[in-house]
Amino acid sequence: VLSMYYIIDSVSSAKKLTHELVYGEMEGLTVSAVEAFTVVAHGDYSYSDGTFYKGTTDMEMMYEYLDDMGEKAGVDVMVIFGDTIVMTTHLDEAGNRMTGMKLDADTYENILVKHVQKGNYYYDSQGSYDGESYAVFYYPLMQESSGEIVGAVYCGVNRAGINKDMNGIVTALIVIGVLFAAAAMVLCFFEIKKIIRAVKKSVDGLTKVAEGDLTVKMDDADVKRKDEIGDIAKGVKQLTEELGII
């Protein structure tokens, strides 16, 4: 029972910790990207003829930074302006960046409009992207001049990788729990065996006393025990000594 409780509690704690780590990493990555944009260029964001600008700076120069960040962290990074994906580390089957695409209406309305455009970040550990299960994080993208929120920096990680890591942790916890239970059972077996042996000695001693044998000697180890077994052994010893006097 204790082992099952340990496994269930440990799995629950591991899942919670995993979500916290994923959330923390994704928040850090999106904030870092926004700060990097602010450092390399000045002015407001705009999108024209397939090119994303900050002021007069073509932000394509930031792809090396975003690609490196995404590769090291194992995440996809996107920059969304309005309802359009203007930068992304995500490539199609031909190796082309999937920019210029519109967000689906549900994502735009329920995430960008309801949360991000109100100045809030948005995190969903059970989100989706491109038809696959993703943990997603959206961080507001603000205009430098007015503070108006005009988009978001997105960070997403495929849950297949998270689930694989989680399954590995769960398996390890189950193995540890089973080994713990087995060790506990072995210890209990030997402890019970010791108790049975001590009780048998006391019973044998009482039987011999009842038959008139007053030479019965109880083991000192049993007499010194601080439990009921010790009380019985002490009683047998005391009985033989008192009968011997008589």
Distance separating alpha carbons of residues 96 and 175, to the nearest angstrom: 44
pLDDT per residue as tens digits for the range 182-223 = 787 888 888 788 777 777 777 777 777 677 766 667 677 766
- Mean pLDDT rounded to a whole number for the chain: 81
SS3 172: helix
The per-residue b/e assignment along 64-93, b for 16 or more CB within 10 angstroms, e otherwise, is: eebeebbeeeebbbbbbbebbbbbbbbeee
Number of other residues whose CB lies within 10 A of the CB of residue 200: 10
Greatest Cα pair distance in the chain: 116
Distance separating alpha carbons of residues 219 and 194, to the nearest angstrom: 13
Compute the CA torsion angle 80, 82, 85, 88 (nearest 10 deg). -20
Q: For residue 110, what are its two tokens?
A: 């329920």
Per-residue model confidence (pLDDT) at position 10: 59
Mean pLDDT value across residues 223-244: 71
pLDDT per residue as tens digits for the range 108-152 = 999 999 999 999 999 988 777 666 777 899 999 999 999 999 999
Distance separating alpha carbons of residues 82 and 77, to the nearest angstrom: 16
Number of other residues whose CB lies within 10 A of the CB of residue 173: 18
Per-residue model confidence (pLDDT) at position 24: 83
Per-residue model confidence (pLDDT) at position 160: 57
Q: Which of 1-15, 96-110, 210-224 has the highest mean pLDDT?
A: 96-110
Residue 9 scores a pLDDT above 90: no
DSSP state of 1: -
Q: For residue 1, what are its two tokens?
A: 């029972």
